[in-house]
């Protein structure tokens, strides 16, 4: 290939690396994204410049329509729907990789490509199709087109394993059967798609941060293996970067949920703790309910307040109210911080985006490691729509299913106010000892309404 | 052929190491834009899609290649635009922020 193109690809790889490097600081992150986009454009122009211009109309139309559709959907999507948007784009990338690899194999039909090209091509078709189909299922779950609860059927695991073995068998058969080759290839792709669907179906809605990260890693890997198929280094480098990123996020998310990846994929969390759900929520004694006026007075005279938002905050669309509360408290000279658990939301870092959208400045957003040492010096913690991630049982009750999970140590603050609809346990179905802590007060009701009342009560505090 | 394969494996493995180093330093505040930016970066598959589509012979290859170009374009353009939108929202406190009450 033209060496000028190779130089362009090298520059692209550098732009990607520098772009991701800039994502370390919020102030420089936007320029990093632009740098990566510039690198992408360079690679595309260089590629197109040296290729024969067959089918220009088809390719041009695909570029224009894809570009318009991509821009339109990316501009319109609300931030709460970001996880499904990312899943959708991720699926597109996986599907494209599978199609490129299939195209490359089809080029040789009815003959068969040499083994060094065939092996990565078939692997790309497999992993790209899994990524495509899996992402579509994740999208449908997040968009609530299908139910988010785990969907399982008896014998699911053996069936999936059998399917995988069958696919490997088909792949091994391909070089030997020229007559059936086209049919086998189609069957191979169809089986891979089916495997993607049946892998993601049993994963529950709250496990989406893990599965989205994993699918992201899969598409990255598929892009890299496409690079092996086409002998294209920039695909290999970019694919490896994304593969590494997706893998790291997958591990971080699993750890933050106190579960192994295998447990997320095969465990069907919703069913696991059905027994806990029955015993929990029965006892209401030892729980202290409070009023909006008391909480307003408490907050108004506090020196340091921490707000711990969970996905419940986004469900009741109270981001704007929480930001108004922050402003009101800041105006009174109260220090306000947000303590955010890694799995608050439906994808890694989702809660930060939702708060940033409501104009909460990023320097008030603290991750778990940096806010935890601060709780003993905090006067009031306001827990809004979060449950399991504040459960002290994760620290001190070895019998709890949450034990060992990293949590926000809100119980170490001087007082805790929990905004909650009822005493119903959280997603994991586990009772939260925090609610029975003498330092804790419960403010029952819809988060958004409670915050609105709190805001007006705060105005009345002299 | 053999030598190429080994060289490509080297590039892949080294890029993986770079990736692990780079990504592990991204703060969790920025994990969503990180994910959507890397999501856009794997849209580099569009380079591969263009390669096969522009050089395709016959209707089957053309159809597969064109479909690949369409999906990859959605991935690239949508990915970068959405990341820019997310990052645009991240703002610092007026007047320096974090230090002001400490």
The pLDDT assigned to A131 comes to 96
Structure tokens that stand for A234 in this block: 């920039």
* Beta-bridge partner residues of A441: A417
A-B Cβ pairs (cutoff 8 Å, strict): 386
Max intra-chain CA distance, chain A: 87
The pLDDT assigned to A270 comes to 42
Give per-residue pLDDT as tens, A40-97. 999 999 999 888 877 888 999 999 999 999 999 999 999 999 999 999 999 999 999 9
How far, in Å, CA of A268 to CA of B81, rounded?
34
Confirm whether A388 is a catalytic residue.
yes
The pLDDT assigned to A272 comes to 44
User: Which stretches of chain A score pLDDT less than 50?
Assistant: 269-282
* Beta-bridge partner residues of A415: A380
How far, in Å, CA of A91 to CA of A70, rounded?
13
The pLDDT assigned to A388 comes to 84
Find chain A residues with C-beta within 8 A of B40's C-beta: 33, 36-37, 40, 89
Find chain A residues with C-beta within 8 A of B28's C-beta: 252, 340, 342, 348-349, 352, 367-368
The pLDDT assigned to A177 comes to 79
Other beta carbons within 10 angstroms of residue A279's beta carbon come to: 12
DSSP A334-349: -EEEEEE-TTSSSSTT
Structure tokens that stand for A323 in this block: 């930001």
The pLDDT assigned to A267 comes to 65
Compute the Cα dihedral for A349, A353, A358, A364 and give only its sign: positive
Q: Please tell me which of the candidates A34, A59, A92 has its beta carbon nearest to residue B71.
A: A92
Does B87 contact A90 at a Cβ distance shorter than 8 Å? no
Ordered by start, the domain boundaries in chain B are 27-90
Structure tokens that stand for B3 in this block: 């030598």
How far, in Å, CA of A266 to CA of A346, rounded?
19
Catalytic residue among A177, A207, A324, A388: A388
Q: Residues 6 or more apart from A199 whose CB is under 8 A from it? A: A130, A134, A160, A265
How far, in Å, CA of A64 to CA of A42, rounded?
18
What number is the ipTM of this complex? Answer: 0.91
Distance set, CA A168 to CA A17, A177, A202, B26 (Å)? 35, 15, 23, 37
Q: Residues 6 or more apart from A27 whose CB is under 8 A from it? A: B92
- List of E strands, A233-344: 304-309, 335-340
Our CA-based measurement puts residue B73 at a distance from the nearest CA of chain A, in whole angstroms, of 5
The pLDDT assigned to A275 comes to 40
Domain A282-460: CATH architecture, name and number where available: 3-Layer(aba) Sandwich (3.40)
The number of angstroms, rounded, from the C-alpha of A63 to the middle of its chain's C-alpha atoms is 28
How far, in Å, CA of A254 to CA of A302, rounded?
36
Does A352 contact B48 at a Cβ distance shorter than 8 Å? no
Check pLDDT > 60 for residue B102: no
Find chain A residues with C-beta within 8 A of B18's C-beta: 17, 240-241, 244
How far, in Å, CA of A396 to CA of A418, rounded?
20
Find the Cα–Cα–Cα–Cα dihedral A85, A86, A88, A93, rounded to 10°. Answer: 150
Does A85 contact B52 at a Cβ distance shorter than 8 Å? no
Q: Which residue has the higher pLDDT, B12 or A116?
A: B12
Q: Is B10 on the interface with A (CB under 8 A)?
A: no
Does A20 contact B23 at a Cβ distance shorter than 8 Å? yes
Does A55 contact B53 at a Cβ distance shorter than 8 Å? yes
Sheet with A304-309: list strands edge to edge.
A365-367, A335-340, A304-309, A380-384, A415-420, A440-444
Closest CA to A363 of A19, A26, A56: A26
Helix spans in A107-232 (H): 115-142, 156-173, 181-200, 208-230
Closest CA to B88 of A19, A25, A30: A30
Find chain A residues with C-beta within 8 A of B32's C-beta: 82, 86, 347-350, 352-353
Q: Please tell me which of the candidates B25, B37, B56 has its beta carbon nearest to residue A55.
A: B56
DSSP A403-418: TT-----GGGSSEEEE
Given the structure tokens 């993986």, which residue do they identify?
Answer: B16
Does B48 contact A230 at a Cβ distance shorter than 8 Å? yes
Tell me which of A14, A48, A63 to substitute to probe the interface with B (most B C-beta atoms closer than 10 Å). Answer: A63
Ordered by start, the domain boundaries in chain A are 1-54, 83-270, 282-460
Instruction: Let me know how long chain A is.
Output: 462
Q: Please tell me which of the candidates B19, B73, B84 has its beta carbon nearest to residue A33.
A: B84
How far, in Å, CA of A64 to CA of B29, rounded?
34
- Nearest 5°: phi and psi at A444? -80, 145
The pLDDT assigned to A176 comes to 82
């Amino acid at each position: 290939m033209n060496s000028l193109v190779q130089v362009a690809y090298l520059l692209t790889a550098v732009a990607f690396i520098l772009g991701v490097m800039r994502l370390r600081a919020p102030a420089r992150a936007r320029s990093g994204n632009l740098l990566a986009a510039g690198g992408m454009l360079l690679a595309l122009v260089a590629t197109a410049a040296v290729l024969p211009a067959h089918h220009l109309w088809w390719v041009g139309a695909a570029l224009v329509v894809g570009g318009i559709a991509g821009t339109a959907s990316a501009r319109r999507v609300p931030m709460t729907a970001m996880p499904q948007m990312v899943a959708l784009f991720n699926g597109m990338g996986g599907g494209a990789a599978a199609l490129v690899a299939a195209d490359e194999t089809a080029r040789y039909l009815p003959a068969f490509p040499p083994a060094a090209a065939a092996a990565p091509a078939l692997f790309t078709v497999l992993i790209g199709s899994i990524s495509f189909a899996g992402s579509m299922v994740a999208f449908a779950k997040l968009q609530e087109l299908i139910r988010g609860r785990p969907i399982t059927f008896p014998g699911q695991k053996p069936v999936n394993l059998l399917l995988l073995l069958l696919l490997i068998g088909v792949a091994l058969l391909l070089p030997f059967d020229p007559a059936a080759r086209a049919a086998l290839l189609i069957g191979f792709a169809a089986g891979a798609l089916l495997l993607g669907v049946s892998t993601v179906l049993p994963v529950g809605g709250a496990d989406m941060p893990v599965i989205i990260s994993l699918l992201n890693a899969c598409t990255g890997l598929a892009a890299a293996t496409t690079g092996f198929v086409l002998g294209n280094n920039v695909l290999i480098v970019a694919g490896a970067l994304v593969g590494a990123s997706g893998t790291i996020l997958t591990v971080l998310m699993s750890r933050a949920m106190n579960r192994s990846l295998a447990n997320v994929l095969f465990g069907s969390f919703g069913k696991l703790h059905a027994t806990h759900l029955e015993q929990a929520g029965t006892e209401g004694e030892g729980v202290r309910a409070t009023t909006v006026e008391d909480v307003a007075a408490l907050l108004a005279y506090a020196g340091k307040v921490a707000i711990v938002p969970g996905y419940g905050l986004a469900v009741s669309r109270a981001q704007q109210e929480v930001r108004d509360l922050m402003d009101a408290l800041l105006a009174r000279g109260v220090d306000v911080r947000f303590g955010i658990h890694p799995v608050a939301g439906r994808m890694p870092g989702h809660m930060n985006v939702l708060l940033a959208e409501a104009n909460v400045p990023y320097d008030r957003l603290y991750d778990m490691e940096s806010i935890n040492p601060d709780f003993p010096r905090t006067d009031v913690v306001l827990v809004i729509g979060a449950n399991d991630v504040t459960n002290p049982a994760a620290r001190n009750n070895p019998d709890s299913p949450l034990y060992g999970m990293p949590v926000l140590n809100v119980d170490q603050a001087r007082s805790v106010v929990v905004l909650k609809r009822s005493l119903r346990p959280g997603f994991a179905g586990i009772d939260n000892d925090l609610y029975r802590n003498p330092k804790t007060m419960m403010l029952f009701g819809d988060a958004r309404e409670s915050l609105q009342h709190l805001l007006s009560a705060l105005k009345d505090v002299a | 052929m053999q030598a190429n394969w080994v060289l490509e494996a080297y590039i892949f493995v080294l890029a993986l190491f770079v990736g692990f180093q780079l990504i592990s330093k991204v703060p969790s505040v920025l994990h969503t834009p990180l994910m959507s930016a890397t999501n856009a970066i794997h849209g580099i598959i569009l380079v591969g899609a263009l390669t096969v589509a522009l050089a395709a012979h016959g209707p089957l290859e053309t159809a597969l290649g064109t479909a690949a170009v369409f999906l990859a374009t959605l991935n690239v353009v949508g990915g970068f635009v959405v990341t820019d939108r997310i990052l645009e929202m991240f703002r610092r406190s007026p007047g320096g922020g974090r230090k002001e009450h400490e």
